[in-house]
Amino acid sequence: MPDASFPSSLPIWLIVPLVAGIVFATRALGPVLMAKAAFSPRVTRFLDGLAISVIVAMVATALAKAGPREAVAVALAATVMLTTRSVFWAMIAGVALAAGWSHFLPG
């Protein structure tokens, strides 16, 4: 069983370049490797939906740790997104609601 304190025992000056290198390698080599592979339409649909799945998982995790302000802001942003099909206005609406909530209903 690995030590649970392992990640926090590494110095930050080592973690940041390590993660940056992994991200860079993934971004740089991903298109090269994907161009050489042939995928079925089913696998292609799966890969196309993967990014959205990761974003949804991150938002759901953040909401599980957050309070009602964040949940209402995300719900408003999702509603605006579905209504207007504009990511820009969805983000503006969600951030504005969260900021207004914090300003007018502190605590």
Query: Could you read off the pLDDT of 10-51 as tens digits, one per residue?
Result: 787 888 888 889 889 888 888 888 888 888 899 888 888 888
In 3D space, the residue among 100, 50, 44 whose CA is nearest the CA of residue 72 turns out to be 100
pLDDT band at 78 (very low <50, low <70, confident <90, very high): very high
pLDDT band at 2 (very low <50, low <70, confident <90, very high): low
CB atoms under 10 Å from CB of 91, counted, come to 13
pLDDT band at 79 (very low <50, low <70, confident <90, very high): very high
* Contact in structure between 93 and 77 (CB atoms under 8 Å): yes
CA dihedral in degrees (87, 81, 75, 56; nearest 10)? -60
* Contact in structure between 74 and 59 (CB atoms under 8 Å): yes
pTM: 0.54
